[in-house]
Structure 1
């Protein structure tokens, strides 16, 4: 058991997080980059067998288990951590570095967990690490909102696990969304996946991280949720409409967004929607395609976040309305943005074309015409915002360029160049990805008719971009999202209620001052009773406590 735990890919990252917090200088840089590299080695050194079990409080726990899914996601997470660490070498914040390694280690723990309890523990540590990445940039309010949202998802997930342990133990196994426990688990996972109506946390939190921290944030949380969905809810039909809504939502808001990193955050939700649809299909090809697209998405979204971070670091802004004409002064970042955008758009000879082809083939084999046509149209929309609108307005359009005070360092260029080369290599030789994901070997990718169809789709999107260019011009402003329902609406209702109550009281005072005093006295007594728990009767307290206990017992009995 000790030998297996020593081979756990999360171990060097968590230890590295502690070391980075106390080390400084060149030694800290070495640890920051070396620990993710060691994690990658351990991903492939760990035998693909069930790890040893041990009992804890009557529960059977398996902290480390490796299989093909864990190896695929573990490799992607390790590559993302390596690239993010190299890119962040100019970032001297020890707090961000320690938080990033803790976050990456917890994500590996989620992937290699062999039981629900271990999975949940790493799930919560992952939330803590990612929140600390945001806090380390001084974004305390955004970090608090992020932490509260993931605490809400964690409560749902834990309640579902607690309700499900009694029937099947702690083993990770497929569930059906047909009981309170499984529905709570599914809801908690979908919170981390960024499913509407609670998807706004992605675009709210990720852009508040530093220019380097957002690279880590784009890699782990939502894709860890995809890996957990593959394990726990393969073939759950309810995921198909959820994924389609995510894909449409992400495309529309990305087209509207002015801030580059918010645009890419909305795009994360949209692209994760493709994976959720594939998981909902549930065939072996569809599940393999979801994993393949998660692998590729981590690479091209990391590359796009690096390009955006380079622009932000150099110019002090990521708003399209304030950018333009940067291609000459920042050619490397421009190329990175174009390669990442084209891969997201599934341009032939890029990795995105390979993984999305697998998803579309799975939909075709399942004869799901509605999902196939919807995702095909959304792929064209991806070309509009990622392949054309983003690089044009940020880098290529004729404009007086904003002064670039800081150029990309060699480490930043190395990270962007490495991610870009992997994306192009997979696109030119799809077999490289198929070795990691043998389930998609049957998909014919580089065929003339398939390439021609995709090129026609992308050319059509390009024509639409030219025709509707004026409509796609970015504008400064605030995008209203679903978080308005709980961030703004309650405040408006309170203000409206206060104003209405003042009007009512004023009207009553004209009739009778005595009645007004009585109403005020009753109102104050009610507020004192409900808001400050003033003198509740013992019977009332017992009734409420009994009701809560009954609800807990009902959930536990499911």
Structure 2
């Protein structure tokens, strides 16, 4: 959902989403699931997944959204490793990610706001008219790529070091490869085709001052944390025993970034963005829907026809015969016969009672005398029969 939602949001809305949505999930993982082995592999896959699909992307904000998936993968892997160093790395990287990813989305949003375009194939040559935006964006690009003296260098490398110290060389290698891919696309490909590349002839200008101030503040923090990581380290949940600025660490990081840059310019023609829409997990739904429709139209349809024939041939006929039988036996003879018999009984009884109601007063008087005589005779008979 992330790579579908972020490119369609407003410029400011995408910035807030990139800052808070995924980081809330990381916070929950840190508090509830530290040391969960499954998260190590899921996080590593996420880190590589985002980088791989960013290769195919032409939309600048969708490309940045894929790298959110990748960067959150570092945090998830650090939570899964579960050591003090890796958890510190996940927490600090989440904080640093809020700053540099917000800066990157502000840079891309400024370009969209001033040009009305977001496809890399439609942009280019903006370095002449938007140099300040270019510089501020590159600070975010260097931060996410873990350049020395930038925030990502002092946080992301802690996660990789945590994997190495926990004797996970394969995880550390894959995360390092993902970091190289991040620099390749966010730090090189996107700014090259957005600000350099083929001049698109767009006569844009710098964004308003308030946008530049917001970008400048985020850029200042990205550099400040990279130069002086101590205040951030003091806020982490565990004591920090990690020094990012050792000679070996700095030289190895610069070497990886240098060779990544050389590879980019050597393969520049191969990395040209295509005016297409990339399909990632949507492929599953498309192919899955075709398979589903084939199953519905072929085997299930045949089975449905077979059941329909059985239903129409046997079940329907049996139901009609049974309903006709029950109608004749129970309805006509049983229910109707009972109702009609009760009615006939009361009609006969009413005919007998009718004989006693002639309407003549003398008949009523005779009846009363006869009834009274019968009552007197009854009591007289019982009196005489007493012993």
Instruction: Give the alignment's TM-score, normalised by structure 1.
Output: 0.53
1:528-547 counterparts in 2 under 5 A?
Answer: none
**Superposed CA offset, 1:90-122 (max 9, x none):** xxxxxxxxxxxxxxxxxxxxxxxxxxxxxxxxx
3-state SS of 1:256 partner: coil
1:107-506 counterparts in 2 under 5 A?
Answer: 201-404=1-204, 407-437=206-236, 439=238, 441-486=240-285, 488-493=286-291, 495-496=293-294, 500=298
Q: Is there any run of 5+ residues in structure 1 with no aligned partner, and where?
A: 1-200, 506-517, 527-558
**Superposed CA offset, 1:390-411 (max 9, x none):** 110111224133243x741111
Instruction: Please give the root-mean-square deviation of Cα atoms over the aligned residues, in Å.
Output: 2.5
Larger relative contact order, structure 1 or 2 (CA cutoff 8 Å, min sep 6): 2
**Superposed CA offset, 1:283-319 (max 9, x none):** 1221111000000011111100111111111111111
Structure 1 or 2, whichever has the larger Rg, is 2
Q: Provide the rounded CA distance (Å) in 2 between the counterparts of 1:394 and 1:322.
A: 8
Q: Is there any run of 5+ residues in structure 2 with no aligned partner, and where?
A: 313-387
What is the match of residue 44 of structure 1? Answer: none
Give the CA deviation at 1:440: 5.9
Instruction: Give the alignment's TM-score, normalised by structure 2.
Output: 0.75
What is the match of residue 335 of structure 2? Answer: none
Number of residue pairs matched by the alignment: 312
Are the equivalent residues in 1 in contact too, given 2:145–2:152 (CA < 8 A)? yes
**Superposed CA offset, 1:298-344 (max 9, x none):** 11111001111111111111110000101111122211221111111
Are the equivalent residues in 2 in contact too, given 1:322–1:402 (CA < 8 A)? no
3-state SS of 1:363 partner: helix
**Superposed CA offset, 1:135-179 (max 9, x none):** xxxxxxxxxxxxxxxxxxxxxxxxxxxxxxxxxxxxxxxxxxxxx
Are the equivalent residues in 1 in contact too, given 2:85–2:240 (CA < 8 A)? no
**Superposed CA offset, 1:209-241 (max 9, x none):** 012210011111211111000011010011111
3-state SS of 2:259 partner: helix
Are the equivalent residues in 1 in contact too, given 2:132–2:206 (CA < 8 A)? no
Q: Provide the rounded CA distance (Å) in 2 between the counterparts of 1:420 and 1:427.
A: 11
Q: Provide the rounded CA distance (Å) in 2 between the counterparts of 1:234 and 1:522.
A: 56
